[in-house]
Structure 1
Amino acid sequence: MKRKIIFIALDCSISKAKSIIKSMPKINSKKYKFALKIGYQIFFAKGGREFVKSIKNFKIFLDIKAYDIENTIKSAMLSIKDLSNVEYISVHASSGIKALKVAKKFAGNKKILAVTTLTSFNQKNLIEIGYKKKLSDLVFLQAKNAKSAGCFGVICSGHESLKIYKKFKINTITPGIRLPGSKLNEQKRVSTPLNAFINSKAYGIVIGRSITGNIKKNIDKLLIHLGE
């Protein structure tokens, strides 16, 4: 059975990330594997790139949400080809089909994940920035474009994941994941890990603040929640 993937979001300082990685328990699961998601805070920090290269024993999802013209996307992909432990890179679907295709072409063996609409957005937020489409319609269009471009997967909320998986046969990764009882913070379209994997058919989830406090205790709690 192909294992589902759980991305631990390291949205913190480099020193905090080092502490989290050091404290992570050895996990033996037949159903799930763990990887790390690294975004702006670490990658753009002083020494961030070197820190990413230094990480051992974990595959990395580099969440840079690249959003630009094709030539700039090409340059960005080429500039990170040397990061051999990076397996996934995010590119914003709003860059367009051509930019997504360019990202896939020049990312080497790295998998492109197309970001749809942020899980911190709701319909009101879309209207505020000038979108007239229904939020779910916009997400489905973005997913369709990602599929057309040959992306490995799309990043979407658990609310849209199942329909996208069924309609476009593309991997879905769902952020906005919270353990039962956790604070929502700025997230609006959220899901629990179990719901995302079982009901929404997600390939992977991204979980951060629900788990990165006491990492060992919270991973145990997560695995119990998932029936492990």
Structure 2
Amino acid sequence: MNHNPVYLALDLPRLDAAEALARKVAGHIGGIKLGLEFFCAHGHHGVLQMHKVGLPIFLDLKLHDIPNTVAAAMQSIHVLEPAIVTVHASGGRAMMEDAKAAAGENCKVVAVTVLTSLDEGDLSTMGIGESAHDHALRLADLAHSAGLDGIVCSGQEVGAVRRQWKDGYFVVPGLRPDDGKSKGDQKRTVTPREARDAGASVLVIGRPISRAEDPLAAARAIEGTL
């Protein structure tokens, strides 16, 4: 079994290019993360095609709607056999409970807390007075009480969440290697090793591999730091 915690984020516009990249680096990653952009462009067919690479699939759909709608959406993706699916913690306890109840037996449901593209200034404009750290911990408590498997949070919060949720499953995006030239649209970043040491279960890495001059060498280098 592959215990590499790195899930490669693949939101390439062309399905053949996404599959080719995944196959190229498959020996140095632990899974494939397919987000909303990929799912809207390629649908069920695209996910089933990516399954052929032979790695677990993380469907990062960030479902957020009334409980019945989210439950129905979860049921509709059973055939895709995802290893992980995301919902938004801000959808509330009932929505998260129904999402977990409707998920496949082997699917982990994790709740997005505070997007790594947001900081305190962004939260303030949305009427949230607490820090990103405190708000993430509050939503983690809600997800835990709703029976979810874990949460998505930044590497800056995962250590604190791990201390209060010992057996949780923690997905950390927004990761940049030490030599990362740009954070892109991420504001709260750490390195993959820092996130792993803090207790991350899954490390989501996209551009540092997918946009590298040599994706295979980049994936190998990241794997070597873990």
Per the normalisation by structure 2, the TM-score is 0.91
Structure 1 runs (4+) greater than 6 angstroms displaced: none
The Cα of 1:53 is off from its aligned counterpart by 1.1
Q: Distance in 1 between matches of 2:18 and 2:199?
A: 29
Residue in structure 2 matched with residue 211 of structure 1 by the alignment: 209
What is aligned with 2:30?
A: 34
The residue aligned with 1:52 is 47
How far apart in 2 are the matches of 1:91 and 1:68? 9
Name the residue aligned to 1:180: 178
Is the deviation greater in 139-148 or in 15-24?
A: 15-24
Secondary structure (helix, strand or coil) at the match of 2:65 reads: coil
Contact 1:121 1:188 in 2 (8 A): yes
Q: 1:23 to 1:69 in 2, by over 3 A?
A: same
AA partner of residue 177 (structure 2): L
- 2:194 corresponds in structure 1 to 195
Match of 2:86 in 1: 90
What's the C-alpha RMSD, in Å, of the aligned pairs?
1.7
Partners in 2 of 1:59 and 1:224 — Cα distance?
21
**Structure 1 Cα separation of the partners of residues 149 and 38 of structure 2:** 24
Unaligned stretches of 5+ residues in structure 2 = none
What letter is aligned with 2:97?
A: K
Aligned residue number for residue 123 of structure 2: 126
Partner of 2:220 in structure 1?
Answer: 220
Paired residue type of 1:171: Y
Structure 1: runs of 5 or more not aligned = 28-32
* CA distance, structure 2, for counterparts of residue 210 and residue 105 of structure 1: 35
Letter of the structure 2 residue corresponding to residue 209 of structure 1: R
Q: How far off is 1:172 after superposition?
A: 1.3
- CA offset at residue 211 of structure 1? 1.0
Q: Which moved more, 1:150-159 or 1:130-139?
A: 130-139
The answer to which of 162-171 and 112-121 deviates more is: 162-171
**8 A contact 1:4–1:203 mirrored in 2:** no
Per the normalisation by structure 1, the TM-score is: 0.90
Paired letter, 1:116 = T
What is the CA distance between 1:25 and its match in structure 2?
Answer: 4.7
The Cα of 1:8 is off from its aligned counterpart by 0.4
Partner of 2:16: 15
2:64/2:70 contact within 8 Å kept: yes
Helix, strand or coil for the counterpart of 2:156? helix
- When the two structures are aligned, how many residues end up with a matched partner? 218
User: Is the contact made by 2:153 and 2:170 (CA closer than 8 Å) also made in structure 1?
Assistant: yes
For 1:136, the equivalent position in structure 2 comes to 133
Higher normalized helix content (fraction of residues) = 2
Name 1:30's counterpart in structure 2: none
Shift of residue 4 of structure 1? 5.1
User: Any idea what SS the aligned residue of 2:30 has?
Assistant: strand
Aligned-residue offset at 1:225: 2.3
